[in-house]
Structure 1
Amino acid sequence: MMFRQKNFSAALAACGAIGVLTVALSLAASDARAEAARADPIDTAMQNCLARADRSTTAGQVQCIDAARDAWQAAIDAALRSISASAPDDDRRGWEASQRKWLAWRKEEVPLVHAVFDTTKGGAYSITQANVLLQSVRDRALAVRHAASRFAPPPPAAASGASTAGASASSPGSAAAGSGAAGTSIASAVASAAATRAQSEDARAHNERMRPCTADAACEHAQFDLRRYTRALREKLPAHARPVLLRAQRAWTAYFDATSPLGTEAERADLIGERVATVKRLSETVGND
């Protein structure tokens, strides 16, 4: 964080109303950047697990990754419960349909991943395989979490900062403390306003009419890459595994068709991009020693 609390309070005591607001805005921006940079607890737990001496073997590393995948699956379930409780009926039904298609795709995707890694040699590839299986679950969890945050009711406005400021200002000799409390209250208000603004901007983006993919350069380019890497993967796969790829791609397309209308154009492109990354990785893995 840019400022320590005591320095922040001292600055507020020395500044007028404009200065207080400026420092509060700086603090809110710093906090927002720190929040954005903070790792997800599930990722942190996995990294800590991977660093343990008793998980240094290939089997131990896979165990850590599988545990993270289970945690992300639990995050999906929690976010879907939140959507079910808070989202409008049309959105709730849309996400329920999306989840059914996602589960159907995952059922077809796992055999494809196994078919690809059956062509590799070396125990280390089991770690890569576990990571591939983890990534799609993590991507889904982050997407459903984002949707749940859009539908969640806004938190109640905090009144404690204002009451603290009033109490501090009424005490003799507490000008600096009062200024500090007022600054904290302003910082909280600024942060709350920023969160509300971000939420409203996100809502507007979701309410915008989505163009066809052929009219959206990002979507069209992502689809081109997906077709290119899918062809590369098909050509490298053994003949008996190609129907597995076909079934997985059909299931993914059904999932994509059910999910992309629930988001924005940028989220649609990201959804394709996630698939491109997986198929590209699989195409580069087939047959490796």
Structure 2
Amino acid sequence: MSTPNPLLGALASSAMRCALVLALSAAPLAARAEAARADPIDTAMQACSARADRSSTPGQVQCIDAARDAWQAAIDAAMRSIAANAPEDVKRRWADSQTRWLAWRKEEAALIHAVFETTRGSTYSITQANVQLQSVRDRALAVRHAASRFAPPAPAPAAASAAASAASGSASVVAGAGSDAPAASSPAAAAPRAQSDDARAHDERMRPCNADAACEHAQFDLRRYERALREKLPARARATLVRAQRAWSAYFAATAPLGTEAERADLIGERVATIKRLSETAGND
């Protein structure tokens, strides 16, 4: 009978552990169907997680924290773009939304800490890092989308080509045309830009939440999971949940009117996913 190879056994065990860690770290990314595909930040995090020197729990947390910092930088860049290109009233409202988001994150950090204090095991540090990552990632995708709506359009290829041609070789034509000749106009410049479906959706009046089935259902789920989390938290930590939910409500009130009804439902859905995850985590060994 052959003798088991201890080296092969150790390699197999290490490979299984690495696969489990990667599955845990990637879980919230798969849950967001509307998230951008193959975003460079996600790709970089996955590459970091696959490195041999990041296979430990602290190494995986470092990868997630680096991704969170990158998403925060994306938020900052998108907010600068909104400040530079959006109308004044919209600019002020997004700035207020960002202020409320930062205030909520402060209270949320205390809630997350209170929840994970009730757990045991080092692997929960990966889950905790992922929960902290997800809210920053969600916010980055939202403000990046808003910034793209207000960014100036890129010059059309036809217009750019016509401008280059005029600058390089049409001086003689212009000189012989006469001062009263009509100026040539670019078809791209003359035709108004068609309004996108996304722009039309943002122009539509938003119904109250109780008149929107998706919004009302999401609010119902949020209240349900909030009750479940409150029941599982120690009595001393329940005030932390109240403060976090109050801060989130202020953020939601400032942000929901800036989007569409679908984006409003998504905003609540993001909160439902976090509170559900925290309620399922609290008290676990």
Global fold match (TM > 0.5): yes
Distance 2:261 2:146 in 1: 15
Distance change >3 Å, CA 244–CA 38, structure 1 → 2 = closer
Give the equivalent residue in structure 1 for 2:51.
52
Q: Does 1:221 align with 2:217?
A: yes
Deviations 1:132-151 (A, max 9, x none): 00000000000000000000
Distance 1:162 1:81 in 2: 30
Q: Return the offset for 1:52.
A: 0.3
Q: Does 1:238 align with 2:238?
A: no
**TM-score normalised to structure 2 length:** 0.76
Give the equivalent residue in structure 1 for 2:133.
134
Q: Return the offset for 1:161.
A: 9.5
Matches within 5 A, 1:249-264: 249-264=245-260
Give the equivalent residue in structure 1 for 2:277.
281
Give the equivalent residue in structure 1 for 2:39.
40
Distance 2:151 2:197 in 1: 15
SS for the counterpart of 1:269 is helix
Identity of aligned residues (%): 80
Q: What is the number of equivalent residue pairs in this alignment?
A: 224
Q: Does 1:94 align with 2:90?
A: no
Distance change >3 Å, CA 37–CA 246, structure 1 → 2 = closer
Stretches of structure 2 that go unaligned for 5 or more consecutive residues are 1-34, 166-187
Give the equivalent residue in structure 1 for 2:169.
none
Q: Return the offset for 1:201.
A: 1.5
Letter in 2 for 1:113: I
Distance 1:109 1:99 in 2: 15
The structure whose residues are more often helix, as a share, is 1
Distance 1:157 1:256 in 2: 37
Q: Return the offset for 1:124.
A: 0.2
Q: Does 1:78 align with 2:77?
A: yes
Bigger-Rg structure (1/2) = 2
1:210 aligned to 206, 215, 221, which one? 206
Deviations 1:102-121 (A, max 9, x none): 00000000010010011001
Letter in 2 for 1:130: A
Matches within 5 A, 1:166-205: 200-205=196-201
Letter in 1 for 2:120: K
Q: Return the offset for 1:158.
A: 1.1
Distance change >3 Å, CA 106–CA 43, structure 1 → 2 = same
Deviations 1:210-265 (A, max 9, x none): 00000000000000000000000000000000000000000000000000000000
Deviations 1:140-173 (A, max 9, x none): 000000000000011001139978xx9xxxxxxx
CA RMSD of aligned residues (A): 1.9
SS for the counterpart of 1:159 is helix
**TM-score normalised to structure 1 length:** 0.74
Q: Return the offset for 1:38.
A: 4.1
Distance 1:256 1:234 in 2: 21
Q: Return the offset for 1:200.
A: 2.1
